[in-house]
Amino acid sequence: MQARVKALETLLTDKGLIDPAAIDAIVDTYETKVGPRNGAKVVAKAWSDRAFAEWLKADATAAIASLGFAGRQGEHMRAVFNTPECHNMVVCTLCSCYPWAVLGLPPVWYKAPAYRSRAVIDPRGVLQEFGFSLPDGVKIRVWDSTAELRYLVVPLRPVGTEGFSEEQLADLVTRDAMIGTGLALVPEDIR
């Protein structure tokens, strides 16, 4: 896939149809200005500010936009909060609807037919393939992202993070945790 993209980019550049500097600016935008760090900031704020967490539950689109993260497939958002009894996981069964403003570019596996079908049929099996398993008593709820509504999973706040700043908390939040195919890191993971 990468070779095909590079070949297409080279061909379009050679024909004068695209400007490589414009492509670089777009890539830079998705690498540094939008992406999982934005979502991590949203989650960290929800973990540390109860009023913000309640607002995020009630109107995720507005709460997220208040932090400056809006648009580009993030116009209609819903935040779903993991609990000790329920783990949330997001999939788009029809295509690859994904909240770019808070999660950046979707990972390749998110768009893969195998993930899109198996996440609904066998979510526990998929989570095991991502490297973790949940206790049998924990319910897994799978949310189907659509063009009308996209989801952000707010993972459980790790134990031992009392007194952490929002910036320190954000360092614990991964893209996969915000999709529900991973868990937040624990402090020992980043030291």
Active-site residue list: 92, 95-97
User: Residue 139 forms beta bridges with which residues?
Assistant: 86
Tokens of 105: 């570019």
85 CB burial (10 A radius; 0-12, 13-18, 19+): exposed
Tokens of 161: 């993070």
Evaluate whether 39 touches 175 at the Cβ level (below 8 Å).
yes
Would you tell me the crossing angle of helices 36-48 and 50-58 to the nearest 10 degrees?
A: 120
Query: Could you give the CA distance from residue 174 to residue 156 in angstroms, rounded to a whole number?
Result: 12
Give Cα separations from 32 to 35, 98, 145 (angstroms): 7, 18, 24
